[in-house]
Structure formats: structure tokens, C-alpha cells
Chain A
Amino acid sequence: MPEKLITEEKRVFMTGNEVCAWAAIAAGAQIMYGYPITPQNEIMHYWTRLAPKHGLKFLQTEDELSAGFTTCGGVMAGLKAFTATAGPGNVLMQEPFSMAEAMRLPIVSIIQQRGGPSTATVIYSQQEVSLTTFGGNGEGLRIVYSTATHQELFDYTIKAFQVSWKYRFPTFVLGDGYQAKMRESLTIYDPEQKGIKFEPATKYVGQPGTPGVDREPGHYRNTYNVEEELYEVLQGYFADYAKMAEEVAEYQAFDTEDADVVVLSHGVVSRGAKEAVEMLRKEGKKVGYFRPITLRPLPEKQLKELAAKAKKLVIVESAQGQFAKLIKDVIFGATCEIVPFFKPGVGITTDEIYAKVNEVL
């Protein structure tokens, strides 16, 4: 038996990418398929250092198309498989991610967003929101967690392996370059000791017995002969997705009850937003904080309530409205004013958010 990676709760100080590799192992990931791209490289680096000690596997593929498709293959063979990428790599992986949607493959992917469009910067952005939530040639049947801290990178990477196998939709941990590269303290733990239950990985192919003799063969496809056939399959998928959405959607909020202005953000930006709202509240201003943790599916009910109550929603993001688009779509029809605060590809500080909210109060 390979030694267990984490045997007791422990305070550690590490980079986000290192956190992801540890979390994947803690969650029972068995194989990683990957292709280098900054800022996610160290996930592979740590994985390849840790994996052999725990009987785990790794394959470096020729490109991201291949990394995505080999991950699909790994899952079909019945292993908890994952990959990680960023930016242009995320663009290439949309093709395999689409297949994962089509075949309901529980692949897990960690996305550490970098600047865009295209190669842009290797540092930071929140510009992979549209791509990660709706990037394929389909309806975006995915689960996307947007993390803000290293603790969340650890918790939600573990959760990604849990929910993907439970609901069979491709699942993403959407981090960013800041989270990937900076060091921060967090508590790591063995999920088992916390009572976290994982679905067993089951095989899509290679079950015991001879197909056609002892059992039905597993025939998986993503091509259909006629429109109606696809339509019917998709109706089932939509129903499953809607049912799952209520169980999976997560958010954080405070001081929204009596707020005239609510600051909406996600990911790392919400750290600054949180502080700014706390400062404004201390000054007696009616400001609230709301942050979806799942960008797909969104906590729709809560967002609608929010939009019905508040006078203004300040939407803050390091992109030119990708997150805002998701929100607007959900709250369609609400009469509250939307105040954009967009800084594509650059970080946003507490002071900037504080000043912006003060300006519109």
C-alpha cells in the first residue's frame, strides 16, 4: 500500500498549484494527463513528484487537445482522471470538454486563468469565465467552481472529484495566476476523516465479462443520426442538470438584507470586495456582499432575490463583463441599476472597490 499523503489536519504554507496537486491526491485522483502552460505548470510538477510514491500515474501529451481527450479516456477506463490548463490551452481543451459533456464523463479540470485574448499575459485574469462556463459547441452542461483562497482551492478541488462522479458532468476549478503562484497558509486534511464521501469510479469500458455474451457492450458516441434522437438525449441531460443545479449551486453573502448597493464579484476579486464592504458597513453605509462560488450553475434563486431588493448592483471583475453577462442573464427583468467595474486582465484592490462604491452610493 502506498503511504497516505495526509494523515492528520495540518497547517501548511504553499503555492496554489501545489495545493491543487495535494488536493487531487487527497481526493483519490489516480491519473493526470497534462500539457505545460503557465501559470498551471506546477500542478504537473508537484503531481509528478508525489504521484510515484502513491502508485499514481501521469502522461505528458503532445498538446491540450490530446491532454483533454486522454483525460476522457482515463475516465472511461474507470480511473479518477484530471488535467489542468490555462488560456490558449483552455481554448484547445474545449473540444474534449465538449465530448465530456456529450458523453457525461466526470473529468476534472483545473483552470488557472491568465490574460487574454490569446497568449496575452501569463500572470492573471478572470477572462476565462465565458470559455469555461459555456465554451463548447453545446449548452454548457458543466460545473464550475470559482475559488478565492488557497483553502478553497484545496476544498473545491476535492469537491470537484466528488460532484463530477456523482452527477457525471465535467467539473472545473477556476483559479487564476495569482492563486496559482502565490504562497498562502491553509489547512490540509484527509477528506475521509472529515466524513467526505466519494462516489466510486466506475468503468465505462472494460467491465468484466464478454460483451454480447455475458453483458451488453458499452457503446458510447457523440454523433447522432437524426435531430430528434439528439433532442431526446439532451432533454434527459437538461433534466439531470436542472435537478443537480439546486444541490450544487453555492454562494457567499453578507449584509445584503437591507443593502441599497450590493457588490457582486467572484474568485480572487471577492477578497477585495469583502474588505471594501466591511469598511463601508463600519461607516454605516447600506452596502452588501454577494459572491457566487459556482459560476455554473449559478445560485439563481438568491441572485433573483438580490436583484429584486437592491437598488444597485456593482459588478466587479478582472474582465470586460464576462461575469456580468452571466448575472444579467439570470436577473433578466429586474429593475435595479447595474454598475460595471471592469478591469480586464489586471487585479482590483480593496481601495478601488471602496472608492467605486462610495461614488455610486
Chain B
Amino acid sequence: MSVVQPAMPKSWRPESKPHKFCPGCGHGLVLKALGEAIDELGIQDRVVFGCDIGCSLLSWDFFNVDSVQTHHGRTTPVMTGIKRANPDLITIAYMGDGGGYAIGSQHLVNAAARNERITVILALNCVYAMTGGQMAPTTLPGMKAETAPYGRDVELTGAPTQGPEMVAAIAGEGAYVARGTTANLRQLKGYIKKALQNQMDGKGFSFVEALSACPTNWRTNAEKTWAFVEKEMPKYFKVGEKKVPGAEQKEGQ
């Protein structure tokens, strides 16, 4: 009997598979959408992939593309530096919500404000995963985390960061901003493709946030994990395109 294996994206590096994420992790799905997007756009020879510290670093040898794993929060400037030095390359900064919205927020804000021709993809799992599930800027109100053991109190810690909304507000003409979810991979891949195409067209900054799962730190089984991704997260984080070059703002599709 032959086992049917789901096809891997061509741009994935088979030697580094199976990948190192926990079972059920959202990172693998986001990277699958990214891999397929790279394949469909035919840009494997031009992509430079940068990953952060946090669980995203486990993807440092994930693709058959040149890759740079850098420090916590600094992937955006490293990719900016590469792009400025060689605009023919397509640079992708891949990070978690801690890397993008806490320690690296100044880089995200300024790269967006400068409309850097790079693509940032951020996996949002509501926690600092690699360090063991502490509160992230995106932990939901009332949600428990290691440093919010009684649930996040927004009076004390503020409300969850709305990343794409913020980026859409500050990025200039030509920027592309969207929020997708691992619960709808086809749509997520579409957003990532558009974000990469936007960079290829030289229009402006492009940013995709992907709602993603961390069953390990959430301490959830498969069913509860999916329920959280599909039902809880989108209540706060509205899926859809937030900024599309030359188009009216669209939401919820």
C-alpha cells in the first residue's frame, strides 16, 4: 500500500524536513503558503528569506533559498539592508508577533513609514512561544499567559496590538497590507502572493499578518486549537485586506 504524501512546495528544502515545529504549529502552515507563493511566482532564484528569533528561527534552513537568521526583532532592518544594496532581490522578513510588535516595532513602523520595498510576514500566535508562553502584545483580553496567569488585564497592559491596521495607517502610497489566517490557507497564500508581487512591482512596503496556532503554549488539543484560531482570534483580529495599492480599502474577504 502506498501512502499518499501531500506535495511539498518546490521551494522547500526536503533535506530539512520533517520540520522542527511542534505538531499542530501554525508556523508550518504559514511557511507552506509562502512556499507555494514563491513557486507560483517563480522567484526562488531571487528570494532572500530572513527569519527572527522566536519559533520562526526554526525555519532558518527551511527553504532552498538564501536565508539569514538574525536577532530578536531585527529581521526587518537586515532585509532592508539587503534590499537597499541589491533591489533585484526579493527580501522576505519572517517573524512572530513578539519580534514584530514588541522588540522590533520601531523597525516595523519605520520600514512601513519609509515604504521599504520589502515583504514582512508575521505569524501571530498571541504568545511569546519560544521562551515558554509569556504574554505578547497580541495576547487577547482575559487570555492566560505565563506572565498573565490570571488572564490579560487590558487596564494594566493595554489592548492587543492591531498590527495591519497600524501599518496600513502609516505606510505610504503603494503599500499592501493584509491579515490572513492559517484557517484559510488559500486566502492566506493569495495575500502573500500579492504582497510579494507588490514588492516585485516596486510599489511599496508589503505586510501580511497570519493568525497562527501554538498548541504547545496554549495547552490545547487539536479541536480546541482550531476553535481558538477559527473563532476567538478573528473576533479581535479582523481578517482581510487593509490596504491595496490603487484600490478602495476592503475588509472581511
Contact = CB atoms under 8 A, between A and B. Distances in A.
A59 B89 CA distance: 17
A57 B74 CA distance: 21
Contacts of B82: 73-74, 76-77, 205-206
B8 to A, nearest CB: 12
B61 interface: yes
A220 B83 CA distance: 17
A210 B88 CA distance: 14
B68 A205 contact: yes
Contacts of B197: none
B45 A211 contact: yes
Contacts, number: 144
Q: Is the interface of B mostly helix, strand, loop or mixed?
A: mixed
A99 B45 CA distance: 25
B145 to A, nearest CB: 24
B66 interface: yes
A33 B57 CA distance: 25
Interface in A44-75: 57, 59, 61-63, 65-66, 69-75
Q: How large is the interface on B (under 10, 10 to 19, 20 to 34, 35 or more residues)?
A: 35 or more
Contact of A74 (B45, B68, B70, B84): B84
B67 A219 contact: yes
A77 B85 contact: yes
B229 interface: no
The residue in A77, A213, A218 that gathers the most chain B C-beta atoms within 10 A of its C-beta is A77
B81 A77 contact: yes
Nearest to A69: B77
B219 to A, nearest CB: 25
Nearest to A59: B84
Interface string A60-102: 0111011001111111111101000000000000011001000
A219 B60 CA distance: 7
Contacts of A95: 71, 74
Most buried by A among B65, B71, B81, B83: B81
A205 B74 contact: no
Contact of A61 (B61, B77, B85): B77
Contacts of B110: 61-62, 66
B71 A222 contact: yes
Interface string B16-58: 0000000000000000000000000000111010000100010
Contacts of B65: 211-212, 217
B80 interface: yes
A75 B81 CA distance: 8
Nearest to B64: A212
Ranked nearest first, the 7 interchain pairs of A and B with the lowest CB-CB distance are A73-B81, A212-B64, A70-B81, A77-B85, A62-B110, A205-B66, A221-B69
15 contacts: A33-B81, A59-B81, A61-B110, A69-B70, A71-B81, A73-B79, A73-B84, A77-B81, A99-B71, A204-B68, A206-B46, A211-B64, A217-B61, A217-B66, A223-B69
Interface of A: 30-31, 33, 57, 59, 61-63, 65-66, 69-79, 81, 95-96, 99, 203-213, 217-223
Interface of B: 11, 13, 44-46, 48, 53, 57, 60-61, 63-71, 74, 77-86, 88-89, 106-107, 109-110
